[in-house]
């Protein structure tokens, strides 16, 4: 069996484009994957088709070999566009292998260490009251035992810092009071805080409400700053969505920069690379909470990872039971009582509905909040 062709499908779901990959073989077997939407998504699509020329005629079951071919064959250590392309292709290779052997991918990764995967969602909301109402509605609908909030109040870029801190505490208090003491509630400032000392002030402002984790409190480039911050922070620190491959995660983990790591399987190098990072984290007593803001195929790939990885805490999730996301696959994975059951079919256990993509054509994307009202550039 040899790789015959690679197709891509871009769909805009209203906020961002989703980029899906289909690797076909000369025996009619195919697999699907999902690449991260890094912004210049046409560039990711072009990189996938460039890799197509590298992989044609290759054995799709030699996943480690083909990963090294793409990663090491790139002229310099790859960045996000190349790694997004590589990751999506790698998912599809696992899908092919599972289908060829007649087993789910999690079985190929060592077998299940759990029967279902715990997931969480961000309820959103502008005011504390709206956030609390939406949190309760999500718990009622999906049975979540965990949530994640953005602590910054709307317009925080133009507010005095003490007002931002009071707003963050008010948002966390409103949700905690609404959902009770036992629902895990993470906080994600999206690296909007530049100085570690201010991140520490925010952590102290919300600590009494027992947040589950404090995600990307500062930007991820300076691991020494993150490690120093973690030693002082009263809340477990989570980071990793912007890190790539075992090499960058090695630096974070060895320097004790996080209590939880959040690799993204659509960006950091794919499924096997994420397994290697998780094993490294396990040896350092660090948990994994995968970053997963992408589409339904990404969720399926993550579920196979979580099913077979002992040090997984929880998985980020976006519901796939409503259009447009629901339209893109034939049968999405389903959340019940805050968990996703393990797929039982061969491969990833999810299929694209290719006919639906014409309803959601690609749209060029860029950050709309990169420039602040005063003309300065936002750091994240």
Which two three-digit tokens encode residue 207? 């600590």
- Tell the CATH topology of 3-102: Enolase-like; domain 1 (3.30.390)
Which pLDDT score, from 0 to 100, does residue 59 have?
98
Question: How far apart (Å, rounded) are the C-alpha atoms in residues 342 and 329?
Answer: 17
Question: How far apart (Å, rounded) are the C-alpha atoms in residues 288 and 161?
Answer: 31
Which pLDDT score, from 0 to 100, does residue 373 have?
43
The answer to whether 352 and 329 are in contact (CB under 8 A) is yes
Reading phi first (left if > 0) and then psi (alpha if -120 to 50, else beta), residue 287 is in: beta
**304 annotated active-site:** no
Which two three-digit tokens encode residue 365? 């994307």
Q: Domain boundaries in the chain?
A: 3-102, 107-347
Instruction: Determine which one of 49, 65, 91, 190 is catalytic.
Output: 190
What one-character DSSP code corresponds to residue 329? B
> Average pLDDT per run of 10 along the chain, which is 380 residues long?
98 92 98 96 97 98 98 92 98 98 98 98 97 98 98 93 97 98 96 92 98 95 96 98 96 97 98 98 98 97 98 97 94 96 97 95 73 43
Which two three-digit tokens encode residue 127? 């005011």
CATH class of the domain whose range is 107-347: alpha beta
Which pLDDT score, from 0 to 100, does residue 215 have?
97
**284 annotated active-site:** no
Cβ neighbours of 242 (radius 10 Å) = 18
Which pLDDT score, from 0 to 100, does residue 379 have?
44
Which pLDDT score, from 0 to 100, does residue 334 have?
95
Which pLDDT score, from 0 to 100, does residue 380 have?
43
Q: What is the DSSP string of 345-375?
A: SSBTS--B-GGGGGGS-------SSSB-TTS
Which pLDDT score, from 0 to 100, does residue 67 have?
98
Q: Which residues pair with 33 in a beta bridge?
A: 21
Which pLDDT score, from 0 to 100, does residue 6 have?
98
Question: How far apart (Å, rounded) are the C-alpha atoms in residues 326 and 310?
Answer: 30
Reported pTM: 0.95
Contacts of 156 (CB under 8 A, 6+ apart): 164, 167, 192
Which pLDDT score, from 0 to 100, does residue 237 have?
98
Instruction: Determine which one of 91, 152, 291, 304 is catalytic.
Output: 291
Same fold, 3-102 and 107-347: no
Question: How far apart (Å, rounded) are the C-alpha atoms in residues 213 and 236?
Answer: 5
Helix (H, G, I), strand (E, B) or coil at 21: strand
What one-character DSSP code corresponds to residue 280? H
């Amino acid at each position: 069996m040899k790789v015959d062709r690679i197709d891509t499908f871009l769909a805009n779901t209203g906020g961002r484009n989703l980029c899906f990959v289909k690797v076909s073989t000369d025996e009619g077997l195919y697999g699907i994957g999902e690449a991260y939407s890094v912004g210049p998504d046409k560039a990711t699509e072009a990189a996938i088709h460039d890799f197509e020329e590298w992989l044609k005629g290759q054995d799709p079951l030699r996943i480690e070999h083909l990963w090294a071919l793409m990663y090491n064959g790139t002229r310099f250590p790859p960045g996000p566009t190349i790694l997004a392309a590589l990751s999506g292709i790698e998912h599809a290779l696992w899908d092919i292998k599972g289908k060829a052997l007649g087993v789910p991918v999690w079985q190929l990764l060592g077998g299940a260490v759990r029967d279902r995967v715990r997931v969480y969602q961000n309820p959103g909301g502008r005011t504390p009251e709206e956030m609390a109402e939406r949190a309760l509605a999500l718990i009622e609908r999906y049975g979540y035992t965990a949530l994640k909030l953005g602590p910054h109040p709307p317009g925080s870029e133009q507010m005095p810092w003490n007002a931002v801190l009071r707003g963050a505490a008010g948002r966390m208090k409103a949700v905690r009071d609404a959902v009770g003491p036992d629902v895990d509630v993470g906080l994600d400032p999206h690296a909007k805080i530049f100085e570690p000392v201010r991140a520490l002030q925010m952590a102290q402002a919300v600590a009494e409400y027992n947040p589950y984790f404090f995600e990307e409190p500062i930007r991820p480039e300076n691991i020494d700053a993150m490690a120093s911050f973690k030693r002082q922070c009263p809340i477990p620190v989570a980071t990793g969505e912007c890190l790539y491959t075992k090499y960058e995660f090695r630096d974070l983990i060895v320097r004790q920069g996080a209590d939880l790591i959040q690799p993204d399987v659509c960006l950091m190098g794919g499924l096997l690379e994420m397994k290697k990072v998780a094993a490294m984290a396990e040896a350092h007593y660090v948990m994994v909470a995968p970053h997963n803001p992408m589409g339904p195929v990404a969720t399926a790939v993550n579920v196979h990872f979580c099913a077979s990885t002992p040090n997984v805490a929880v998985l980020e999730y976006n519901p796939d039971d409503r259009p447009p996301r629901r339209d893109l696959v034939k049968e999405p994975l389903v959340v019940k009582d805050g968990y996703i059951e393990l797929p039982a079919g061969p491969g990833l256990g999810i299929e694209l509905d290719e006919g639906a993509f014409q309803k959601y054509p690609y749209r060029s994307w860029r950050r709309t909040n990169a420039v602040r009202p005063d003309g300065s550039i936002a750091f994240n």
